[in-house]
Structure 1
């Protein structure tokens, strides 16, 4: 263990926060896999149905996403994290219960995802804003890399475990594993020692605070192009994510275990990418790391689209290779992008900054997920995947030539933006 990694390992609060994120991430990858199979195999749904259910979970970001950011800046963040984790555990536990009683169908599942999404909106606004209260600025890139690495491990093992669980106990009961993971996450975060003071009362109205948060993001010389490019990435990535399960399950015919293997390779790639992200950020720079990683992700999607032209065991090999490449880019990009956003944003604006970006990111998913399903059902999954790949490359190239090209972790917020108003 080097001196550089020692501060994180000795930080009891971060260790518990890290463990909570790892456990909930593992459950999430299991349930994402299980819900896709549940819709297609158990409920007889189509790619459009997958898109509708995925989009339903993002609808709350449209309705209350920005207000969630104001709430996260007006209340203590730790109780908000704990309450929303426990609430999500209850919602997911309803899936196997409804399936067992014969009341589960696509519309009901979509309704559950709306409630789940509402709790996720509130949780997300506080989650990314919580880390800067746990750790000093200089440890944020490393801490985000560790969180991304754990997510990558979960992404690797989750689908494999999900495939085995679906085969053994069925998709509805497999979702229950994620419910347990959220309950454990909530209990761990409740035990995190952290200075989490209640914010000072403000005379500003909610709408004024909303405007202040959005203005901070979309008037900032480097956050603005990053936000816009990321919105584009979410649009086209949601096409890919929506199409992949029915594409692999129905067109490639690789089955639950084969599907789990390909998802696991994405996790391996993400682990490798996140392990290299801090090094790349130093050597290539933040702009080059993020834009370059997105080009790599698009290349991985293109490889997956080409898997349809192969046969036999080659199908799984090619699809897995594409997911590995996609995961490399995803893992390298995530920690650097989040650390930069956290570092240049004042604490009092953290909740609104995160909520603004996440809300608009998820808002485009509400469009992109059903769009991906419609493209797959009309033009075919192959063309839909190629469109997703081309869109991500375009967003990456635009980011590379934008004002974000001069971004650095040493960037400081303007003095007036950090002052209380």
Structure 2
């Protein structure tokens, strides 16, 4: 075990933060399966409805995403994380209550997702900016890899568990597990030791701070092409997400449990990818690792489409193999991208940098998810998956040819 690995494991603050993230990751993966099945099976929704519910969850990024970054740079980040976790637990708890009273439908669920998304905007701005306060820069790649590995394990077992829970107790009650995970995450974060001092009182306007964060991202020689390439990935990945659940349930006939199995294999791939991400980036370089991971993910979705025309175990096996490749790419590139972003950005701009990139990423989802659903309903679920795969593959190749090709581990924050 290396000295850096030992230092990471012995850091009490990181251990608590890691545990909180892992538990909420498990709940999120369970909730992802439950929401998809709830829309399609319980509420009789179409691919368009799936896209609308997905876009509702990220729509608040369009309204307050950039301002959330300013807020995260102006207040203590730990209380913001704790309060938004508790709030999300309360919002998700409303779903089974409304289902029992017979008042839950697609528009009501979308409205709840808007409230959930608003809290998630605030949480995300603080969450991605919290790690650099816990750890020195040289530990960030390994720390992000650990977080990505936990998320991958959550995908592997969480979505499988989610499929089993949905089959056993139904989608609305399964969402209570997701709600509980956020409550526990909030408690663990509250107990995390960290130097989280209140920033000095801002001397400039909110708009001035917002503009500074936006300029930092889109005028930076390597962050700018990375940000734009990532926006493209989110746009076409939203098309895939809107089409995949109805494709698996309606066209392949996987059922909720089979859907969970395919998602679980994506988690296995992500776990392997994230485990190899740090050595891979040192061997191939940061640009090749991130760009290559996106092309690999596109290939995985093409394998998923090859399951059309099969049924039963064969359909699940082929879709799971494609999801494995997709997850492998996601796991290999994700930790390196996050560590690079954190490493080249000063602490005072961390919140705004993360919120800026996340806001435009989520804006791409708001556009891509409903359009993907409409495209799938009009042209077909399989062509929608082809379109998404072509888009994320092209985003990876364009990133490799952009100014990001000069990015390296030696780049530092000014």
TM-score in same-fold range (> 0.5): yes
How far is the alpha carbon of 1:305 from its aligned partner? Answer: 1.2
CA distance in 2, matches of 1:313, 1:20: 35
- Residue equivalent to 1:60: 60
- Residue equivalent to 1:189: 189
**RMSD across aligned positions (CA):** 0.8
TM-score by length of 1: 0.97
Is this contact kept in 2: 1:239–1:369, CA < 8 A? yes
CA distance in 1, matches of 2:409, 2:211: 25
Per-residue CA shift, 1:223-242, capped at 9, x if unaligned?
Answer: 00000000000000011111
CA distance in 2, matches of 1:123, 1:159: 22
How far is the alpha carbon of 1:326 from its aligned partner? Answer: 0.2
Aligned residues: 414
Is this contact kept in 2: 1:162–1:174, CA < 8 A? yes
State how 1:42-121 maps to structure 2 within 5 Å. Answer: 42-121=42-121
SS in 1 for 2:296: helix
Matched, 1:128 2:140: no
Gaps of 5+ in 2: none
- Residue equivalent to 2:259: 259
- Residue equivalent to 1:362: 362
CA distance in 1, matches of 2:361, 2:85: 21
Is this contact kept in 2: 1:281–1:336, CA < 8 A? yes
CA distance in 1, matches of 2:353, 2:4: 29
CA distance in 2, matches of 1:409, 1:59: 34
Is this contact kept in 2: 1:344–1:411, CA < 8 A? yes
Stretch moving more, 147-156 or 3-12: 3-12
Is this contact kept in 2: 1:39–1:45, CA < 8 A? yes
State how 1:10-409 maps to structure 2 within 5 Å. Answer: 10-409=10-409
How far is the alpha carbon of 1:342 from its aligned partner? Answer: 0.1
How far is the alpha carbon of 1:312 from its aligned partner? Answer: 4.2
How far is the alpha carbon of 1:164 from its aligned partner? Answer: 1.1
How far is the alpha carbon of 1:413 from its aligned partner? Answer: 3.2
Per-residue CA shift, 1:352-392, capped at 9, x if unaligned?
Answer: 00000000000010000001111110100100000000001
CA distance in 1, matches of 2:389, 2:285: 24
Is this contact kept in 2: 1:240–1:388, CA < 8 A? yes
How far is the alpha carbon of 1:22 from its aligned partner? Answer: 0.2
CA distance in 2, matches of 1:239, 1:352: 27
How far is the alpha carbon of 1:95 from its aligned partner? Answer: 0.4
CA distance in 2, matches of 1:353, 1:287: 19
CA distance in 1, matches of 2:281, 2:30: 31
Per-residue CA shift, 1:191-226, capped at 9, x if unaligned?
Answer: 000000111112111111110000000000000000
CA distance in 1, matches of 2:149, 2:411: 25
CA distance in 1, matches of 2:307, 2:163: 21
CA distance in 2, matches of 1:125, 1:312: 42
Is this contact kept in 2: 1:344–1:409, CA < 8 A? no
SS in 2 for 1:309: coil
Per-residue CA shift, 1:64-98, capped at 9, x if unaligned?
Answer: 00000000000000000000000000000000011
How far is the alpha carbon of 1:4 from its aligned partner? Answer: 3.1
CA distance in 1, matches of 2:162, 2:3: 37
CA distance in 2, matches of 1:184, 1:98: 23
Is this contact kept in 2: 1:70–1:206, CA < 8 A? yes
CA distance in 2, matches of 1:220, 1:37: 41
SS in 2 for 1:413: coil
Per-residue CA shift, 1:37-89, capped at 9, x if unaligned?
Answer: 00111111111000000000111000000000000000000000000000000
